[in-house]
Structure 1
């Protein structure tokens, strides 16, 4: 039914055929005036794979267009991209197409019948498009797109919807297209796990699914939506569907419940979101009027009892041409900005709630330091006890100086076993748990960045330090800062590489020197016995014994000193490694400061500034 019927004064009798002719003539003249600047539109559905090329924006819309485009970048997590693209398309053309959706909570048939009543001309005969719309329901359940045109116009087939050309001056006058589809109310479980889409987005951005497609549904954003329910059960279903969504939709959303008509006409507030309607009563009234103009009084009563006039007024609300853009497009932009603003506020509230319920950075640091103290105490105790036990075992006693002649090849194996099995094994395992706590708390594993802040530049430019330990030949060269959980493993590798081979070589050298000295002293005693007649065998043997004793004594002193030195160096290297690890952890904890604002806070700040720019541009427009 064209909206002009809803504006007929109640005092005007439709029994007079001249009154009808005057109304029809007035309506036709208005259409001719509007048609002078009307440009027939093409399809407004753009494929998701289309290349986005910046159009020629009208100068009056350019500021808002640019601000809205920046909002898409700055507030991407909070903006509905489909609705934003619809708003940008409305700003990019001179006369934008307005999309209105009629969504049925039940079968699509009632929504089709309602669309027919809102668009049909009661002064004309029933058109072919009306028959197709009401009786030829798509077997696959596809949506129907009603667009102005001749009934016999051909259209490119679409898997998402069926296109019907409707010769309605109403569609032409307001540059309007109407999508008739169904609303899926079974998304409560999805909405419970997603904060980006609620019932409002599901209604104002209907999802169209091709019957044979396996991909994701394609969003089809609209400027306004009329939700049609059938009976009280559908009203309850809609209430549950929108229970968790408190966002105000204003004049963008209308809910109509198809119920039996009342015996008396009840006044309805046009600003209300909810409305009662009876499609059957409206259909009968339209059919009666088309039978004969004499039934105009019956038509009037039936039309108003059907509840269609408020829907007709809502349909044309904010669609009137205005400079520089239609009010309905302004409402769409304002709604997008409001949604982004609410999303940012909710994210702020969630962040504050999490911050209030979580422990502070100072408490976390104090807890980490307390665990560090426990770890250090246990590690030093382990180092002392384990090495005491290792150096008291039978294996270590096998390396006594007098057993070295037949145990010289076991030096590397025995010392390596002590380092690998007795040197800070449990301390290394426990450091992994401590590192996990620190990683969970957000602390780094290295002091590279921190050392650059606390170390003077002159010290940073010096070459790596080299610590030379001549007693055991230990050479430690630090080329880079090692993450603290790897300090113990690195210290163990250094001991295995730099201390065991020199000790093994020393043992072999002492054996060789002892045997050489003994052989030389024996040869000297034999030479003296042969060359000196006065030398007795006893005196010659004394020289050989003296050489043997000297060789063994020297071997004993050097080897026992080397063993004691190696023991002390292993202990000292363990204490130094633990101290370095502890100092590094303390430096990390004390130097790592909680950021004043995290990345989310900065992103929301930028998004809020983009929202203000859009509001200012819209206000200046």
Structure 2
């Protein structure tokens, strides 16, 4: 049991008690209700699951069952190293017969630029300008992202506080079961040192944050399978390069960057598999408008359309979305990127731990250094206790409490004794203990350690380790010839080991000085009353008995005075000596208990360090979950 809770001083100046434990009440497990609901196959990737279906298991196709279980295990095991939003999107796709693919079009400028680019990629050149195109071109469109979903324009779209839904009768969306999110990407807000974090770069592109229109406006992650980043001018290309400086370079299949530059004289030569493309939306918009005006402008449309660079984006948009067994190539690449990111995060954590260990002392060296400082602290503290108390008990203030000065110094007992404890009793040891506690905290040693049950008996720890309860103020009761003492079951709360000295000093002031003050007042009162009674008796004898002389009557008064003063001298000097011995002994006990407590902490930490680090176990389990998921993905 910890020594710092044994703050009740143990000397004859105050009572002792025995700890009385109280068993903890067991908590009965809560029986959660079971919901027998049927899993509803969603129509869209953004459909929310009903709260009553939280325990329902999805009807996963048999071909995806192994990979689904592996990703579920990865979600539980490696939650600290994996992007949970992306894993949930992958699980949702594996649980569906025909998963909905999400693609984001993020603009580094205004959202209007991304809306215009999405319109050009999804517009039907053989038809007239549709209503959804007009809504995308409006300047007064709502300041929130737009979700383009397949459907007739007459269909009532679902509402969401995160985005505006537009139903688009596009063959591209229908044939590939596709949804397109149009939003913005602020690359300037995280340029500089923050751009090296994964959350600021790759995750910000593949998991856009949508802000709700509520009062709180908390961002909500919206993971996608692929992202098209659009910007205008070379400055945006430079900004995006700084933004994704630490991101993987082989992300061309999932992230595409389209930079809008002035039109070129010739058709730009760029492959759909590359990560960067040069486009010009103005040329593409004019080509689309000319073809819609007349089919005779087909040559102009073809020339302008290819000069705009948009065909490469159209090809990248549908790349990997063709129906394939058992899953689409884009879905397979998406799951593979999740596993790669998880492995990269685990490797970074391993590197950080290795770097931390390389720049720090070994546990044995740290423990040896702390023990050396502890030995120095104990030696200085015991020396300080001896010298300071010796100086205090020969000082002038202590002699002010001599028995013959007690008549006019009786009210100064509390002040003088409190001053000795506050200024002379282990003041330097307490300050050095706080410094030692700081060194232990730097070495990751705990400040408070709960000892196991029966630790005092098993380890042979000193007596101050026993938790004691304070004795109540009720007087003893006589019953059948035995003395019964009422004990309080209140146990003092745990305190840091370096606060033991302060706690013991407070206990000494509260529990030893009041009895000493009361004794001084009682002795003065008894001496004065005894002297007064014997003097009155002497006067009565002299008056009532003429045969007694004045000398004989005065002898009675002198006898009473000598007796009362002698009794006062003996009792007060014994009490002063007992109090001095008490605070010396309690100082030694406190120093011993503090020293043993620190040694126990160091010993316990050394035993724990022999066991595998918890972080190492977590990373090992996460790495194993990634391996199983990669094997299941490879078998597909």
TM-score, length-scaled by structure 2: 0.74
Structure 2: which 5+ residue stretches go unaligned?
1-40, 470-487
Which of 81, 103, 108 pairs up with 2:84? 81
Q: Is 1:101 aligned to 2:84, yes or no?
A: no
Report what 1:44 is aligned to: 45
Which of 604, 611, 615 pairs up with 2:630? 615
Report what 1:501 is aligned to: 515
Structural RMSD (CA): 4.6
Structure 1: which 5+ residue stretches go unaligned?
1-39, 467-476
Q: Is 1:601 aligned to 2:619, yes or no?
A: no
Give, in whole Å, the separation in 2 of the partners of 1:263 and 1:111: 24
Report what 2:324 is aligned to: 322
In 2 relative to 1, CA 602–402 (structure 1 residues): closer, same or farther, beyond 3 Å?
same
CA contact (8 A) 2:211 2:220 kept: yes
Q: Deviations over 1:154-180 (max 9, x none)?
A: 324545444333333332221122233
Deviation of 1:389 (Å): 3.2
Larger mean Cα displacement after TM superposition, 589-598 or 545-554: 545-554
- Which 4+ runs in 1 deviate beyond 6 A? 48-52, 457-466, 477-482, 513-524, 535-555
1:139 is paired with a residue whose SS is: coil
Report what 2:594 is aligned to: 581
Give, in whole Å, the separation in 1 of the partners of 2:496 and 2:263: 78
In 2 relative to 1, CA 465–78 (structure 1 residues): closer, same or farther, beyond 3 Å?
closer
CA contact (8 A) 1:511 1:555 kept: no
Give, in whole Å, the separation in 1 of the partners of 2:491 and 2:42: 71
Give, in whole Å, the separation in 2 of the partners of 1:541 and 1:210: 102
CA contact (8 A) 1:412 1:504 kept: no
Report what 2:73 is aligned to: 70
Alignment map for 1:367-378 (pairs within 5 Å): 367-378=369-380
In 2 relative to 1, CA 136–560 (structure 1 residues): closer, same or farther, beyond 3 Å?
closer
Report what 2:5 is aligned to: none
2:98 is paired with a residue whose SS is: coil
CA contact (8 A) 1:231 1:257 kept: yes
CA contact (8 A) 1:264 1:305 kept: yes
CA contact (8 A) 2:534 2:561 kept: no
In 2 relative to 1, CA 249–499 (structure 1 residues): closer, same or farther, beyond 3 Å?
same
Report what 2:497 is aligned to: 484
CA contact (8 A) 2:100 2:178 kept: yes
CA contact (8 A) 2:195 2:242 kept: no
Give, in whole Å, the separation in 2 of the partners of 1:65 and 1:428: 59
CA contact (8 A) 2:209 2:221 kept: yes
Q: Deviations over 1:9-42 (max 9, x none)?
A: xxxxxxxxxxxxxxxxxxxxxxxxxxxxxxx984
Give the structure with the larger helix fraction.
1
2:80 is paired with a residue whose SS is: helix
Report what 2:59 is aligned to: 56
Report what 1:255 is aligned to: 257
Which of 567, 571, 576 pairs up with 2:580? 567
Q: Deviations over 1:314-350 (max 9, x none)?
A: 2221111122222212222211222122122212222
Give, in whole Å, the separation in 2 of the partners of 1:212 and 1:515: 83
In 2 relative to 1, CA 247–452 (structure 1 residues): closer, same or farther, beyond 3 Å?
farther
Deviation of 1:94 (Å): 0.8
2:235 is paired with a residue whose SS is: helix
Report what 2:183 is aligned to: 181
Q: Give the structure, 1 or 2, with the largest relative contact order (CA under 8 Å, sep 6 or more).
A: 2
In 2 relative to 1, CA 158–191 (structure 1 residues): closer, same or farther, beyond 3 Å?
farther
In 2 relative to 1, CA 611–138 (structure 1 residues): closer, same or farther, beyond 3 Å?
farther
Report what 1:306 is aligned to: 308
Alignment map for 1:236-385 (pairs within 5 Å): 236-246=238-248, 248-265=250-267, 267-290=269-292, 295-385=297-387
Deviation of 1:515 (Å): 8.5
Give, in whole Å, the separation in 1 of the partners of 2:450 and 2:167: 70
In 2 relative to 1, CA 159–429 (structure 1 residues): closer, same or farther, beyond 3 Å?
closer
In 2 relative to 1, CA 312–614 (structure 1 residues): closer, same or farther, beyond 3 Å?
same
CA contact (8 A) 1:229 1:256 kept: yes
In 2 relative to 1, CA 570–117 (structure 1 residues): closer, same or farther, beyond 3 Å?
closer
CA contact (8 A) 1:408 1:504 kept: no
Q: Deviations over 1:89-132 (max 9, x none)?
A: 2122111111222233334444444434433444x232424751
State how many pairs are aligned: 571
Alignment map for 1:437-456 (pairs within 5 Å): 437-446=439-448, 448-449=450-451, 455-456=457-458
1:163 is paired with a residue whose SS is: strand
Q: Deviations over 1:464-505 (max 9, x none)?
A: 899xxxxxxxxxx99888753343345445655358737964
Larger mean Cα displacement after TM superposition, 160-169 or 306-315: 160-169
Give, in whole Å, the separation in 2 of the partners of 1:546 and 1:287: 131
Report what 1:201 is aligned to: 203
Give, in whole Å, the separation in 1 of the partners of 2:583 and 2:209: 71
In 2 relative to 1, CA 507–98 (structure 1 residues): closer, same or farther, beyond 3 Å?
closer
Report what 2:155 is aligned to: 153
Q: Is 1:90 aligned to 2:103, yes or no?
A: no
Deviation of 1:251 (Å): 0.6
CA contact (8 A) 1:103 1:228 kept: yes
Q: Deviations over 1:22-78 (max 9, x none)?
A: xxxxxxxxxxxxxxxxxx984432459967634332233233223323323322233
TM-score, length-scaled by structure 1: 0.75
Structure label with greater radius of gyration? 1
In 2 relative to 1, CA 161–447 (structure 1 residues): closer, same or farther, beyond 3 Å?
closer
CA contact (8 A) 1:522 1:543 kept: no
Alignment map for 1:409-558 (pairs within 5 Å): 414-446=416-448, 448-449=450-451, 455-456=457-458, 484-492=497-505, 495-496=508-509, 497-498=511-512, 501=515, 505=519, 508=522
CA contact (8 A) 2:132 2:153 kept: no
